[in-house]
Amino acid sequence: MAYVDKDGTRASELSERSGQHKQVVGTLIDELERLGYVARRPDPADRRAKLVVPTQLGLDQMAQARRIVSEIEARLAELVGRDRFGEFKAVFTEITRGC
């Protein structure tokens, strides 16, 4: 869900963003759809392609996840200081993006 845009995202783009094979992403999309978090819709830009679009349940879960992450980050920044935590996040982001 972290890589799904609220207006929808193609499975191929989800694969790129997550670094996972298309088959793995397809399986995850199937499961998220079965659980009611996403739906597949035709892509208006290319009717042959499908967009993975979050449902209201999915949007609610995404909002809840953002709140939880914000709370965790606030506690950590308080623990080590905002500047140090900001530096940590910048370095961690750099590492995860492959420098």
Residues 5-60 pLDDT 10s:
999 999 999 999 988 999 999 999 999 999 999 999 999 988 889 999 999 999 99
Q: Does 89 map to a domain? A: yes
Give the per-residue pLDDT at 99: 58
Q: Does 1 map to a domain? A: no
Q: Does 3 map to a domain? A: no
pTM for the model stands at: 0.80
- What residue spans of 1-99 are helical by DSSP H? 11-18, 22-35, 56-80, 82-96
How far is Cα of residue 5 from the mean position of the Cα atoms in its chain? 7
- Is the distance from CB of 61 to CB of 71 less than 8 angstroms? no
- Is the distance from CB of 24 to CB of 9 less than 8 angstroms? no
Total structural domains in the chain?
Answer: 2
Q: Does 79 map to a domain? A: yes
Q: Which domain holds residue 28?
A: 9-54
